[in-house]
Amino acid sequence: MHRRLTATVAVITIGLLAGACATGTAPQAEQAPAGGPADLTFWMTGSEDDALVMQKAADLYTRSHPNVKIKVSALSWDDGHAKVLAAATGKNGPDIVSGGLSWGIEFGGLGGMVDLREQGVPDAVKGKTQQGVWESITSPDGAVYGTPLDMTVYLTYYRKDLLEKSGLQPPRTWQELTAAIRKLRADGVKVPYSMDWGNIDWLQYFNFLRQAGGSLYTPDCEPALNDDAGVTALDYWAGLYTEHKAPTQTAEVPAALANGVAMVSGGSWQIKAVDTAQPKMKGKWATAPLPAGPAGPGAFIGGRIVGVMSHSKYTAQAADFIKSLYTPEAVRTLTEAAAARGVLWISPLTDNIADLPATPDQVEAIKAAFASGYGPPNCPGWETSQAEVTKKLQEVVYGRSAARTALDAAAKIMERNAG
């Protein structure tokens, strides 16, 4: 099962977005009786396995609601954003959709999604999730178009045998990370360190930005990544590629560890995938939080939101199903179904982290990451800016620009796309 946050928005998508913004908030479709039969379609962004996992929760719900049918279909991350945008602007598509944490704000602002406060859905989860995630999915005006469906966070995966051979512990700081890379290379490890999820992308840079004390935006949604902290973070992150030879070509965590990479920065869902995909790695690897920077620890928290499209005539039934996803029975169903497919499902309800089907060291690493984690910004134009900002960051990695110059250009892009 593969997951990533979409970072590319095609030119045609941007054009559709601009046209849709001019229409303002659209009225909700005429509704079927709230207690009547409903035939719901659910686009689950992710893989076919993701859709099968969610279908288990849908089937759990329909067993106690026999007048409701729910069909879950997979929607690829590669073109999911464009397809949901087309559904939002064309008023034709699924009743329920999941997607990146910032999608609800974007599509809700186009009038394409329902404010779930009207159905009481946020009451089922607000105050029970990681605060940074809740801030990420809440529009500046307070609207909630999608509630958190699951969560992912960055961890350091490492080869215990390779670090022990070099007399090393998992690095806790930037200084320890670069020192460990040098020691491992001196001891014959060809690739001491690599990055998986979001490699050479804004996602990985975000971790270092937060660890340096920076942020993409100010609380008032003014671009902020081009301050001194942003420059410090970019210089260090780019140096991992230029000086310390982290590969720009991505290898997923299981393959990287199996091929002798000593340390990998990757997503928490891979915890179940390593032993499944690479049985020879059993007992040879472990996890730790990302190293802290000058300002302390920090990690990007990702995941998916789930919400109701405004063209659905079954808003009440769809919202009731979404509420059910936060019940203990549904959380258990999703966790077990995902684990059976080699994926760690992390509910947005933080009290459930202690009960994850993971080893104690993995659970502790996840807890620490969430304690210091941050979700994506909820500022206007960020979704549209991601691809162009990433290109500016890459200019530094490839030696075509200085960090300050690249970040000043990125800030201008973000300001322009804010409208």
pLDDT of 391 above 90: yes
Torsion sign over Cα 83, 84, 85, 90: positive
The 10s digit of each residue's pLDDT in 34-51 is 888 999 999 999 999 999
pLDDT of 11 above 60: no
Share of the chain above pLDDT 90, in %: 86
The 10s digit of each residue's pLDDT in 182-237 is 999 999 999 999 999 999 999 999 999 999 999 999 999 999 999 999 999 999 99
The Cα–Cα gap between 414 and 416 comes to 5
- What is residue 22's predicted lDDT score, i.e. its pLDDT? 38
In the predicted model, what is the mean pLDDT of the chain? 93
Across residues 281-296, what is the average pLDDT? 98
The Cα–Cα gap between 90 and 87 comes to 5
What would the 3-class secondary structure string for the chain be? Answer: CCCCCCCCCCHHHHHHHHHHHCCCCCCCCCCCCCCCCEEEEEEEECCHHHHHHHHHHHHHHHHHCCCEEEEEEEECHHHHHHHHHHHHHHCCCCCEEEEECCHHHHHHHCCCECCHHHHCCHHHCCCCCCHHHHHHHCCCCCCCCCEEEEEEEEEEEEEHHHHHHCCCCCCCEHHHHHHHHHHHHHCCCCCCEEECCCCCCHHHHHHHHHHCCCCCECCCCCECCCCHHHHHHHHHHHHHHHCCCCCCCCCCHHHHHHCCCCEEEEEHHHHHHHHHHCHHHCCCEEEECCCEECCECCEEEEEEEEEEECCCCCHHHHHHHHHHCCCHHHHHHHHHHHHCCCCCCCCCCHHHHHHCCCCHHHHHHHHHHHHCEECCCCCCCHHHHHHHHHHHHHHHHCCCCCHHHHHHHHHHHHHHHCC
**Please, which pLDDT band fits residue 1 given cuts at 50, 70 and 90?**
very low
pLDDT of 115 above 90: yes
The 10s digit of each residue's pLDDT in 243-255 is 999 999 999 999 9
**Tokens representing residue 67 in the block:** 């007048």
Across residues 364-377, what is the average pLDDT? 94
What's the predicted TM-score (pTM) here? 0.90
- What is residue 26's predicted lDDT score, i.e. its pLDDT? 53
Say if residues 373 and 130 touch (Cβ distance below 8 Å). yes
Domains of the chain: 38-151+303-361 (3.40.190.10), 153-300+377-418 (3.40.190.10)
- What is residue 124's predicted lDDT score, i.e. its pLDDT? 87
CA 84 vs. chain centroid, Å, equals 17
pLDDT of 289 above 70: yes
pLDDT of 411 above 80: yes
- What is residue 27's predicted lDDT score, i.e. its pLDDT? 65
- What is residue 119's predicted lDDT score, i.e. its pLDDT? 96
- What is residue 127's predicted lDDT score, i.e. its pLDDT? 87
The highest-confidence range among 60-69, 77-86, 367-376, by mean pLDDT, is: 60-69
